Amino acid sequence: MILGVRTADAQDSLSASLSEQLSPVTQLRDGIYSSPSLRAWQRQNNYSQIGAVYRNNDQKLYLQQEGSGQRVMTIHSETYLRQNATTTLWGHATYHNRLIKKVTFNETSDYHLVYPYVTSDTVGGDMKAESYAFQAGIAKAMGRYQLAMQGGYRGEQAYRNRDPRPKNVSSNLDLLLSVSRRINSNYALALDLGGTKYNQNNSLTFVSELGVPMVYQEAGLGMYNELMKGTSTSGLVTLRYNGLGYQASLVLSPLQYKGLFARASYKSFTVEKFKSGVLDELSTSKEQAVTATVGYQRETTSRHFLVQVRGTKLLRDGIESKFILGNPDSSNVLRLYKLADELRYTHDFTEVKARTVYGHTGSTIDWYAGVEAGYVNSIQEYRLPNRELSYSHWLAGIDLTVSKSFRSTRLTLAAQAQRQENIEATGFWADLSRDKAQYDMLTSNLTYLSASRTRLGGSLRADFPLSEKLGGTIRIDGAHQTGIGRHDFSATVAIRF
């Protein structure tokens, strides 16, 4: 907000800033200049805005651990400011209030970060969550170099007010250092180095003393630690996750929105899971991801074009600690002692996606047309006993954005259509009895992940002046996906300055 107020005296017109923000080419281009030391060339116009968004979605088929949909209220503020010829500032602050619907086999927050090692039971239910996120960065020019730093923090509390009652508090702290050098009049080469520190404290309690379900420490694909299972009275109520990650990126980018660009990045993230009363970690997940992007962009006053191909390779290993119960001091108290570490779970994920957008502006109607295509392959395996859940699919989509001014109000209409077609899917868990709840969970997840689907969506946006230096925005979005029975709706109000 402090940075945003600072832009109130900026001489960039609201209309020029708005045109840039509305462009799908700009939205795709932002990823090219996400390196902190390239932010000075990310946008041509300063902008700030604060807004509120309401979102609601539901679906019939879904990943059990992530729920059947969410109802979210968000307040968001962001700014981008080229303060002078040598200094660029940016930042955002966000608050989310969420209701996550029908979560089962998972009582732990940040599933995408800590899976497969979550606490679970077979009851589940809706979860509530509140999160806060802040990010700020600065880039400073020094001759042919740009030196930059970006830091961010996210905190979240998730809970349920009926049995079972999880209470999870998590935090994520990021720091990214970057340097770029202009290698000629049109290109710069950037290097980013960053680190992440993650923590989560996790508890699960039951108020009712009757009908308390079993609590499991999941190990992937329906497997769980036999020694750690029990009810709420057996001490399985307090856990913590400690995560540490690092990343490095190398980026070649044009400075005038004309020419080839390329990006290569590597990320590593390790999370250890601990339980109160046990000295050693219960499990460790180690993830490595490599991403490469290449493309070409060319923008003139009235014509805008960008095409890019992006590939991602992700490998996650799940390592379990093996324990034994014993009482070497001849006491009557049994204790857990770690014997060894074993690699039991693996996830191999591959994605390749191509997208191109072309637009024409400056006439009576501004318009942009986009095309995308992609391929995804995912293989999850558990060893001893052998289980597998894998799928692959391709996707293709088109989108069209049209914008026109009516006196002082600008209307923007967007429409999208996408088809995802399943190629193959495999689910193998022969050792698991059909009367087990885990069997139904795995079958349901496979049905969702292997479902072919068509998505149709659209949005209507109105931008209008509130004063000489303030603009207002109202936007409505909606979408429907066949195959999984998903419905999305969102409404946005915002003030630009």
Read off the pLDDT of residues 96-118 as tens digits, 9 standing for 90 and up. Answer: 999 999 999 999 999 999 999 99
The pLDDT, as a whole number, for residue 326 is 74
Average pLDDT over residues 74-94: 96
Residue 325 — very low, low, confident or very high, per pLDDT cuts 50/70/90? confident
**221 exposure class (CB count in 10 Å sphere: 0-12, 13-18, 19+):** buried
Greater confidence (203 vs 234) lies with 203
Q: What percent of the chain has pLDDT over 70?
A: 94
Name the residue ranges covered by the structural domains of the chain. 2-496
Residue 330 — very low, low, confident or very high, per pLDDT cuts 50/70/90? low
Quick: pLDDT tens for 308-318.
999 999 999 99
Taking 90 as the threshold, does the pLDDT of residue 285 lie above it?
A: yes
Q: Which range has the top average pLDDT, 16-20, 124-128, 203-207?
A: 124-128
Taking 70 as the threshold, does the pLDDT of residue 375 lie above it?
A: yes
Average pLDDT over residues 105-134: 94
State whether CATH 2.40.170 applies to domain 2-496: yes
The pLDDT, as a whole number, for residue 332 is 63
Taking 50 as the threshold, does the pLDDT of residue 1 lie above it?
A: no
Q: List Cβ neighbours of 434 (8 Å cut-off, separation of 6 or more).
A: none
Taking 80 as the threshold, does the pLDDT of residue 244 lie above it?
A: yes
Taking 80 as the threshold, does the pLDDT of residue 12 lie above it?
A: no
The pLDDT, as a whole number, for residue 155 is 98
Residue 277 — very low, low, confident or very high, per pLDDT cuts 50/70/90? confident
The pLDDT, as a whole number, for residue 328 is 60
Quick: pLDDT tens for 194-218.
999 999 999 888 887 666 778 889 9
Q: What is the pTM of this model?
A: 0.93
* Average model confidence (pLDDT) across the chain: 92
